[in-house]
Amino acid sequence: MGKLDGKVAVITGAASGMGAATAQLFASEGARVLVTDMNEAKGQDVAERLGPNGEFKRVDVSREEDIAAAVDQVRSGWGRLDVMFNNAGFGGARGPIESISEADFDLTVDVLLKGVFFGMKHAAPIMKQQGFGSIISTASVAGLQAGESPHLYTATKAAVIHLTKSVALELGQQGIRVNAICPGVVATPLAHGPLDEERRKKFRDRFGRHQPIGRVGEAEDIAQAALFLASDDSTFITGTAMVVDGGAYAGRPWHRQSELMTGQGPIKLYRPEGR
């Protein structure tokens, strides 16, 4: 018995990275998955690897009609929608505040915030009719703490977290749970770009030193969090922003604190004279 036997999921941004890993995990746990993405070739490949449990649909999450069509496809084809995972994203506009154009602002907000809003909006009616469902959105630890990501990425991820809480309050009495996942540094193309294996290893080594748990995240780590929130294991959890970051949001690893405070090696305890 899989944790998602008989369930139907729509995952946006599922052609690679965390979305693809989640699609594979959901299907292995018994779910039928509509893989959606703008990259048709990679999206089709992910769906084909899911076998009869997978289908692909090209979706631009900034277009409301695309999200509506994806929900309609699973409603008409599979008769239900149990999980809506609003995962699609990109780095968005970069640079100092005075350099960001209106066009780049609009595109960033359209993908990272409006795309999540549209997913919630169009999942809600079918889930209300069913009397159950789980809406999950990919936020970020950047939405909890500034200084690690571009301005608009940080702002939109904070908005996703707050939108999650607000919509959870509305939909809870209809049996619909609404939660967000806040990844830290995860070794995906969004984080490190198109790298060869040697440079990916260097990326993991470099950023792994900054995590209390001693490694960067992998796409499968986020997929496992999404599985928990999608499954009946989390039926009393809603309105949360689940941090999945190896402890980075909690603070610096102990060895880095020691180096910063002493300027050299491990901290030596201070003992007052005569003790």
Closest CA to 111 of 66, 80, 81: 66
With vertex at residue 147, the alpha carbon angle to CA 144 and CA 149, rounded to the nearest 5 degrees, is: 80
Residue with tokens 């294991």: 233
Q: Tell me how far apart the alpha carbons of residues 61 and 67 are, in angstroms, rounded to a whole number.
A: 6
Name the phi and psi angles at 11, rounded to 5: -125, 125
Residue with tokens 């779910």: 31
Q: Tell me how far apart the alpha carbons of residues 87 and 61 are, in angstroms, rounded to a whole number.
A: 10
Q: Tell me how far apart the alpha carbons of residues 184 and 196 are, in angstroms, rounded to a whole number.
A: 22
Closest CA to 32 of 12, 57, 49, 50: 50
Tell me the one-letter amino acid at 255.
H
Which residue in the list 153, 180, 207, 217 is annotated as catalytic?
153
Query: Does the annotation count 153 as an active-site position?
Result: yes
Q: Tell me how far apart the alpha carbons of residues 189 and 206 are, in angstroms, rounded to a whole number.
A: 16
Cβ pair 83, 123 in contact under 8 A = no
- Which residues sit opposite 56 in a β-bridge? 35
Q: Tell me how far apart the alpha carbons of residues 32 and 134 are, in angstroms, rounded to a whole number.
A: 15
Alpha carbon of residue 264 to chain centroid: 37
With vertex at residue 53, the alpha carbon angle to CA 49 and CA 54, rounded to the nearest 5 degrees, is: 55
Which residues are catalytically annotated? 153
